[in-house]
Amino acid sequence: MLTKIKAKVQEIISTEARLMHKLGFKPNTVSFIGVVLGIFSGVTYWAAGATSTHIETYRIRIFLALLLLLFSGFCDALDGALARLYGETTVLGGFLDSLLDRYVDAAVLCGLILGGLCEPLWGLLALIGSLLTSYARARSEAAGIPMESIGLVERAERILIMAVASAINVILPETPSLNTGTIILALASNITVIQRTLYFSSRARPKAKVSSK
């Protein structure tokens, strides 16, 4: 079931990538649009928290933050598809894409923390876990050990967790769904860091033995 869903999503993204290519968009341009949308999502979460006593304004801002987050995530998937489909993948492009994604992750979680939409401790743990999840993959792959799909949550799942929490908060603004989503994200992302550490350790030992012979 999940494989079929993933295949369908990839098909949609590829179709959109072809359309964007016809319109003259380059992968780096799409990446830049994605990071701007992501940062504005974080700012909007913060603004929503500042108006939490005005329910309708709060709901509108959470909904807007949700849309910005989803479009930012879509741009992140789209720039990779563009690069692969039209042979525009570069080492610099991959580096910038990964770097900009971290700014988006930090902006969204800082927006939740500063807006009082989650408990600061859980927000910080979610931020640390999200950044270290990505760092663990980058460091592992730099050592020649692939890390894709290893662990409980990757970036798409992290965005999905916050998107679902935000959608619930739009419908039921008095529920602490964003705080709950942040707690889930904090636990899941840090568990992923542990999983990736153990995976890297298990794969690195045989390599070390071979190189020492």
What are 152-205's pLDDT values in tens digits?
999 889 999 999 999 999 999 999 999 999 999 999 999 999 999 999 999 887
Q: Which of 14-18, 21-25, 35-39 has the highest mean pLDDT?
A: 35-39
pLDDT class of 209 with cuts at 50, 70, 90: low
Least trusted range by pLDDT, from 2-6, 58-62, 129-133, 136-140: 2-6
What pLDDT, on a 0 to 100 scale, did the predictor assign at position 208? Answer: 54
Asked if 169 and 63 count as a contact pair (C-beta separation under 8 A), the reply is no
Q: Of the listed 76, 79, 101, 105, which one is catalytic?
A: 101
Asked if 80 and 97 count as a contact pair (C-beta separation under 8 A), the reply is yes
- List, in order, residues 6 or more apart from 58 with CB less than 8 Å away: 48, 51, 52, 173
pLDDT class of 31 with cuts at 50, 70, 90: confident
What pLDDT, on a 0 to 100 scale, did the predictor assign at position 194? Answer: 96
Asked if 134 and 98 count as a contact pair (C-beta separation under 8 A), the reply is yes
Encoding tokens for residue 11? 């098909």
What pLDDT, on a 0 to 100 scale, did the predictor assign at position 1? Answer: 40
**Is 97 a residue of the active site?**
no
What are 43-99's pLDDT values in tens digits?
999 999 998 788 999 999 999 999 999 999 988 888 888 878 777 777 777 788 888
What pLDDT, on a 0 to 100 scale, did the predictor assign at position 200? Answer: 94
- The full set of domains in the chain, from first to last, is 2-200 (1.20.120.1760)
